[in-house]
Amino acid sequence: MAGSAEERLDALNREIADLEEQQDACVSVIAALTDQGLDTAAAKAALRRIEDKLAALRVRTATFEGDARHV
């Protein structure tokens, strides 16, 4: 990742915000599918992938905030 420490942290935070929006949308899809009595397995799998990415980015952000050389 090129750029200043602030730019790199900003990029990580934007990526987290984007994934949080995807997470919210996925939760809404799961709720709609549930209401319609449809299978939610694929949407739940997608949600798990999003949550895994979010967790990894949050760890990376915490590491970055502690020492920018690790990002």
pLDDT tens digits along 8-64: 889 999 999 999 999 999 999 999 999 999 999 999 999 999 999 999 999 988 887
pLDDT at 71 over 70: no
Residues 6+ apart with CB under 8 A from 68: 5, 8, 9
Show the tokens assigned to 40: 């939610």
The span from the CA of 58 to the CA of 34, in Å, is: 29
Using a 10 angstrom Cβ sphere, with 0-12 exposed, 13-18 middle and 19 or more buried, the burial of residue 5 is middle
User: Which pLDDT belongs to residue 66?
Assistant: 73
Q: What number of CA atoms fall less than 13 Å from residue 69's CA on the CB side?
A: 0
